[in-house]
Chains A and B, each alone.
Chain A
Amino acid sequence: MNKTLLDILVCPVTKAPLTLSKDGTELISKMGGMAYPVRDGIPVLLETEARTLTTDERLESGSTK
């Protein structure tokens, strides 16, 4: 996914910044505890398509501090 695009994308629900997952398949909203899929190179920033991060993932991404 394109870096300039990532720079201006935020979580549609919380408006918090997003980071690309290591494998590049998801955009993570640490603050909202949500992950949005990237399908076929296109970020899918729909609340209905998002997945809630697991506790482990939240700990890993440092969102619980």
Chain B
Amino acid sequence: MQDDQKKTTDFGFKEIPTEEKVKAVANVFHSVAAKYDIMNDLMSGGIHRLWKRHTISQSGVRAGQCVLDIAGGTGDLTLKFSRLVGAQGQVILADINDSMLKVGRDKLANMGVVGNVQFVQANAEELPFPDDTFDCITIAFGLRNVTDKSKALASMYRVLKPGGRLLVLEFSKPESETLSQVYDQYSFRLLPMMGKLIANDADSYRYLAESIRMHPDQETLKTMMNEVGFERTSYQNLTGGIVALHKGFKF
């Protein structure tokens, strides 16, 4: 059978043909877009705001700079960056999913953010920007959903200016076994139940929990960043390694 040669990839714990992953992930985010913000607050007990704030503090972004927020979704990071870069700077919020982009655009418009923020629908694996464009690139809770992560990291490296930095905020591997067990109970039992109750969508939140387990751990991701050219690569565990912030530079 031809199927033997077909390339597959992970979609949560399932193996699906590689070309179907984009669509499968898209369906998850079309489904969760409207309730994305409230679910983030509920699921993380508001802690996602601290993780994002920490990411901003590590970004080194200054007035006048050009920032790319990949998988920027509902615009939490973009909102803060738009204040940091000011009128002379520019923030591009890119997301592959148009539902998420529209929620983000409406939210930022309602908060009075206009002028220095632009929106683009793009695939992280094939970023539609020239080489050496951005001072800083962030991808927060997005890399996990990308089909070819190395290709996406290489694409980010390409569009980063020399001296620029990439910050990857993503779920990772808890440092302690005890935390890991509690976290497993939470994500595989409580999380889909909350998804069902609040967003009437248990499947999307089951995918969330599964995709987190399939994502490369701290050291693996660091190695992947090094392999595409990033230098001075490092990471910090946040909340016991439930989340990690990876940083890498292009020189």
Contact = CB atoms under 8 A, between A and B. Distances in A.
Interface of A: 2, 4-5, 8-13, 15, 39-49
B129 A5 contact: no
5 smallest A-B Cβ distances: which pairs? A45-B128, A12-B126, A12-B128, A5-B118, A44-B121
A19 B33 CA distance: 31
Given A5-B92, A45-B128, A12 B101 contact: no
B168 interface: no
A44 B121 CA distance: 5
A44 B118 CA distance: 13
Contacts of A10: 128-130
B123 A42 contact: no
Interface of B: 22, 66, 90, 92, 96, 98, 101-102, 105, 118-123, 126-131, 133
A59 B138 CA distance: 40
Contacts of B66: 8
B123 A5 contact: no
A39 B130 CA distance: 22
Contacts of A11: 128
A4 B129 CA distance: 13
B122 A8 contact: no
A46 to B, nearest CB: 6
Nearest to A11: B128
Given A4-B118, A5-B118, A42 B105 contact: yes
Given A39-B98, A40-B102, A45 B122 contact: yes
Contact of A9 (B105, B120, B126): B120
Contacts of B126: 12-13, 47
Given A5-B92, A11-B128, A46 B122 contact: yes
Nearest to A37: B121
A8 B128 CA distance: 8
Given A10-B128, A12-B128, A45 B121 contact: yes
Contact of B119 (A4, A8, A12, A42): A42
A5 B120 CA distance: 9
Contacts of B129: 8-10
Contacts of B96: 46
Contacts of A41: 119
Most buried by B among A8, A11, A45, A47: A8
Contacts of A39: 98, 121
